[in-house]
Amino acid sequence: MPLETPARIVQRLTSHGFNAEREAVTLLANAPDPDAAVALAVEAAPPDALVLRAEHVKQALDSSTGRPSISNGDESHANRSKSVDTPPEARGSFTRDSNPEQRSVEITGDITGESTGTGAYEDFVAVFRDRYERLSAKLRGRVNHRPTDALQAMPGGGEAGLVGMVSDVRSTANGHWLIELEDTKGVFPCLVMKDKGIADLVGELLLDEVIAVDGTLSDDGGIIFVDSLHFPDIPRTYKPNTADRHVQACLISDVHVGSDEFMEDAWQRFTGWLHTEEAEHVEYLLIAGDMVEGIGVYPNQDEELSIVDIYDQYRAFSEYLKEVPGDMEIIMIPGNHDAVRLAEPQPAFDEELRDIMSAHDARITGNPSMVSVEGVNVLMYHGVSLDEVIAELPADKASYDEPHKAMYQLLKKRHVAPQYGGHTRLAPEKQDYLVMDEVPDIFHTGHVHKLGWGMYRKVMAVNSGCWQAQTDFQKSVNIDPDSGFAPVVDLDTLGMTVHKFS
């Protein structure tokens, strides 16, 4: 079946305000005259229906061929008799065995409605204290640690360990590294000699992340000479959860509707493809932020807007969402271009925006959120901190060309946005929602508009590309975006396939 037909049908249905089930589109595509069939189906569909279902299409096609039309009688009976008596129009179509009753989605770690921060100084103290508590708990068993005040009271020369938040990293006159670690009692200096194997790890450090060190106290007791350095990390023995059946999730982000560079054609090829047999196991669509281009996000952004009103941008996005099969589950979080607070964690879209996007019954949650999809834990995070990680770390550890490696660093630090300040705006809350308490099975981010994926200690890290062509700013700084790609993960094996639509 050529891709054009379902794609064209989907667009026509969308223009009539319908989101459609895949089987409905397949039935229409296989009709002898698909255009006439669409017209019939649109006319016959219930006036209040948002989703055009296969049964609507069957009814419309049946009534046009003089088959007994379905009255208000027993609907289940009617459906049964019809499925035995397959209309000739549907021959050659495939049957989807998507089983909505087998689906399961559960959301945890969502800030929406839980935000208590008032922006007061104490809240910043609280959020860092909570970060320290939760990340240090993952490290305490790894070193023979003491709080900084106890270290200060210890005589020199003995073994010493410390779990602390990185408050400073600088090189000494001799080229060694001085790391200051802070705990709830104070700050303590730790020296990593340049000729030690672990010196390479110093390049991976970001301010405000929590690590542990082990070593020897100097003779005067004022400094630790570090022998080993530990990150909270993913346990090497981690075994990921997988789904019990063959089912797939498509992971995308950065749609940027409302931008001159939004790639409508690629998007429509993608949504058309979702209606084909090749995509029959793709039952979930995860969107990791930047649904729309927004307004006033970057300087001079208004020069590249095709839609200038933010609500109109969401209305247009909602229309594009209607092209996604009505029988797919959509889960989405906001990004830095979306109309929610910028500081992370970001709560989900408010009622007004949800209302605008209601045609496809998407699950809408905060940034970040842990989403359990058929037992597979997917950590969705937009990814603003990736800019920071890439800027701070050496190119072999994190770069725009290999965004998944920057994600590995976040997994290692067990925090989605370790360094406070710079690009990443942090909301003061009582709790640090950005700590990765639980190990995800899939880590899904976007934001940098580059496609990259890979396994870090059995965790699948995926940075989806975008649906926006290169902007003037990106041209000026040589960012060459990966636009129009759809990465698809098998939830039963965590295997990856990438489809290109640009």
Site of interaction with Zn ion (CB under 5 A) = 290, 335-336, 447
Looking at the Cβ atoms of 360 and 447, the one nearer to Zn ion is 447
Looking at the Cβ atoms of 217 and 466, the one nearer to ligand D5M is 466
Beta pairing partners, 452: 463
Looking at the Cβ atoms of 216 and 474, the one nearer to ligand D5M is 474
Give the one entry of Fe ion, ligand D5M, Zn ion, none that residue 298 binds, where binding means its C-beta sits below a cut-off of 5 to 8 angstroms depending on kind. Answer: ligand D5M
Q: How many CB atoms lie within 10 A of CB 97?
A: 9
Of 85-93, 106-114, 252-260, 294-302, the window that binds Fe ion (rule: CB under 5 A) is 252-260
Q: How far is the CB of 128 from ligand D5M (least distance, A)?
A: 26
- At 444, the amino acid letter reads H
In whole angstroms, give the CA distance from residue 347 to residue 369.
10
Q: Which residues, other chains included, contact 317 with Cβ-Cβ below 8 Å and sequence gap of 6+?
A: 255, 257, 258, 291, 292, 357
Q: Is 261 in the site for Fe ion (CB under 5 A)?
A: no
- At 307, the amino acid letter reads I
Looking at the Cβ atoms of 440 and 446, the one nearer to ligand D5M is 446
Of 29-37, 253-261, 262-270, 474-482, the window that binds Fe ion (rule: CB under 5 A) is 253-261
Element housing 40 (H / E): helix 34-44
Q: How many CA atoms lie within 13 A of 356 on its CB side?
A: 17
Contact track, Fe ion, 205-244, x by CB under 5 A: ----------------------------------------
- Out of 203, 472, 473, 495, the only residue in the binding site for ligand D5M (CB under 6 A) is 473
Looking at the Cβ atoms of 214 and 290, the one nearer to Fe ion is 290
Give the one entry of Fe ion, Zn ion, ligand D5M, none that residue 479 binds, where binding means its C-beta sits below a cut-off of 5 to 8 angstroms depending on kind. Answer: ligand D5M
Give the one entry of ligand D5M, Fe ion, Zn ion, none that residue 105 binds, where binding means its C-beta sits below a cut-off of 5 to 8 angstroms depending on kind. Answer: none
In whole angstroms, give the CA distance from residue 324 to residue 329.
9
Contact track, ligand D5M, 435-454, x by CB under 6 A: ------------xxx-----
Contact 214, 228 (CB under 8 A): yes
Q: Is 391 in the site for ligand D5M (CB under 6 A)?
A: no
Q: How far is the CB of 302 from ligand D5M (least distance, A)?
A: 12
Q: Is 254 in the site for ligand D5M (CB under 6 A)?
A: yes
Q: Which residues, other chains included, contact 260 with Cβ-Cβ below 8 Å and sequence gap of 6+?
A: 304, 305, 306
Kind of pairing between the strands at 248-252 and 224-230: unpaired
Q: Is 472 in the site for ligand D5M (CB under 6 A)?
A: no
Q: Is 405 in the site for ligand D5M (CB under 6 A)?
A: no
- Out of 305, 342, 479, 496, the only residue in the binding site for ligand D5M (CB under 6 A) is 479
Looking at the Cβ atoms of 281 and 447, the one nearer to Fe ion is 447
Contact 13, 38 (CB under 8 A): yes
- Alpha carbon 124 to its chain's center: 26
* Sheet with 496-500, side-by-side order of all strands: 363-364, 329-333, 282-288, 248-252, 485-490, 496-500
Contact 57, 9 (CB under 8 A): no
Q: Is 397 in the site for ligand D5M (CB under 6 A)?
A: no
In whole angstroms, give the CA distance from residue 364 to residue 345.
14
Of 51-59, 100-108, 339-347, 472-480, the window that binds ligand D5M (rule: CB under 6 A) is 472-480
Residue with tokens 């589950």: 329
Q: How far is the CB of 263 from ligand D5M (least distance, A)?
A: 14
- At 471, the amino acid letter reads T
**Sign of the alpha-carbon torsion through 144, 203, 415, 341:** positive
- Out of 182, 183, 290, 392, the only residue in the binding site for Fe ion (CB under 5 A) is 290
Looking at the Cβ atoms of 392 and 482, the one nearer to Fe ion is 482
- Residue number, nearest CB to ligand D5M: 298
Q: Is 336 in the site for ligand D5M (CB under 6 A)?
A: yes
Provide Rg for the chain, Cα atoms: 26
Looking at the Cβ atoms of 143 and 407, the one nearer to ligand D5M is 407
Kind of pairing between the strands at 282-288 and 329-333: parallel
- At 103, the amino acid letter reads R
The three-state DSSP-derived secondary structure of 96-108 is CCCCHHHCCEEEE
Size of the site for ligand D5M (CB under 6 A): 12
Taking CA atoms, 359 is separated from 136, 315, 317, 328, 353, in Å, by 44, 10, 11, 13, 12
Q: Is 254 in the site for Fe ion (CB under 5 A)?
A: yes
Give residues in contact with Fe ion (CB under 5 A). Answer: 254, 290
Give residues in contact with ligand D5M (CB under 6 A). Answer: 254, 290, 298, 336-337, 387, 447-449, 473-474, 479
